[in-house]
Structures are given as C-alpha cells and as structure tokens.
Chain A
C-alpha cells in the first residue's frame, strides 16, 4: 500500500482529456514538489513533469501537472494511442525518504 494514492486505472478515447490524481499528506506532497513519470511497456520510466508543473524539454505540451495542498494531478489532453502507459507520481517525504505512488495504468480505448 503506497503512501501516495493513485487510481489503479484510467481510460479515455483518442482526443479526450484525462486526469490522474495523486493524494498524499502534509509531510510529503504538502511540503515538497511533485514529479510525474511515464513508463511504457518494457521500458525504463521517463520524467514527464517535474517541480509540480514543469515539462522537461521534449515533452509535448499535451501533458500538464498541478498541485494543491496535499494532492497533485497529471492531465493529458488530446489523448493519443502512444500515451497508453503506466504513470507514477513521486515526491520526497519529510521523514527523509522518497516516495512513488502506486501507479496508474492508462488505457486508450
């Protein structure tokens, strides 16, 4: 059971907008920045969003992140088939350890 709670699955049709939530507490999301990772099948994870809402170079602007209080969200607009992957939120905890959410499997219908 992860300290950071994500829905296990999400889905959408091509072109739709989907959001994935990540819920934590005051000692992790509430006091540290959130990063998001995309993991395509059989590959290493890739940094998708950092510092709550910043996109690394090369990440399409269809991907966006936000944070409010002890929760964060990843939004994907204009959903494409290649977005089908697992998505993880991550942050630091004030008890001096890193945390990942349990992951959300995104299916493009």
Chain B
C-alpha cells in the first residue's frame, strides 16, 4: 500500500535551517509529482511546493520562494524540503503528499498524504 512518512521536524530557531524528508513506498516513486503542504496550529491548509515526477520542474508558494527548496531522490524514494531562514509564523505541521502521475506538478491533486512532521520555529 502507498505510504508516505515524514521526518525531520522539531524546534528550529528563526533564521537557521531545517531539512524535512519524506520516505515513500508502495508505488513507483519516479512516476509521480510530489507536494509539501503545511498547516499552522488551528489554521487551514497552505500549499508550499511541488516537484515534477522527474525533478525538472519545481514550483513554490510566494511566501517561501527563495528560502525553501524542494528536491527528490528517485533512487532512494525520498522527497525533501530544505527550509532556510524559517520564520515563527511558519510553525506548522508539514505534510508530504502524492500528486498526479507523470505530471509536471501543476495541479493540487493529492491522493495520498503522510501523517505530517511538526516544525516549531522559535527562539
């Protein structure tokens, strides 16, 4: 069965860095676009970034562009999110989610989600 397991969350100081990972199994990883979505405590969902199935295309929310980097390793079935200079308002549960098959990423179709990893940005 499809599984997505996030890791790497924790407490991080503003202006430092944190790298989140998402380990995937149960499907052909290299065939699917992958997304990061976050949810601040008690708030709604916020789309963060997507990477195409082949890694060629990456798109970001305006709020994280230039600070966050999405990447994937199709040989290790792993998705990553490098968070540089995080801000306190980016404290949230971060979810990875599977997108469309053989897609360059331009759709918020997310059929499988991980359970999330909590990131707390605080000094």
Give residues in A with beta carbon < 8 Å to B: 2, 32-33, 35, 37, 39, 44-47, 50-51, 56, 86, 88, 90-92, 96-103
Q: In this complex, what residue of A is CB-closest to B65?
A: A97
A51 to chain B: which residues have CB within 8 Å?
Answer: 109
> When A44-B116, A90-B47 are in contact, do A98 and B61 touch as well, CB less than 8 Å?
yes
> When A92-B106, A92-B107, A103-B44 are in contact, do A97 and B113 touch as well, CB less than 8 Å?
no
21 contacts between A and B (CB under 8 A): A32-B106, A32-B107, A37-B110, A39-B45, A44-B113, A44-B114, A44-B115, A45-B113, A47-B109, A51-B109, A88-B44, A90-B45, A90-B47, A96-B106, A97-B59, A98-B35, A98-B50, A100-B45, A100-B108, A102-B44, A103-B45
A91 to chain B: which residues have CB within 8 Å?
Answer: 108
CB of B111 within 8 A of CB of A90, answer no
Interface size for chain B: under 10, 10 to 19, 20 to 34, or 35 or more residues? 20 to 34
A92 to chain B: which residues have CB within 8 Å?
Answer: 106-108
- Describe A's contact surface by its main secondary structure: strand
**Complex Cα gap A88–B44 (Å):** 8
B113 to chain A: which residues have CB within 8 Å?
Answer: 44-46
CB of A88 within 8 A of CB of B45, answer yes
> When A96-B59, A97-B60, A98-B35 are in contact, do A50 and B106 touch as well, CB less than 8 Å?
no
CB of A97 within 8 A of CB of B61, answer yes
CB of B45 within 8 A of CB of A37, answer yes
Partner of A100, one of B46, B59, B106, B115: B46
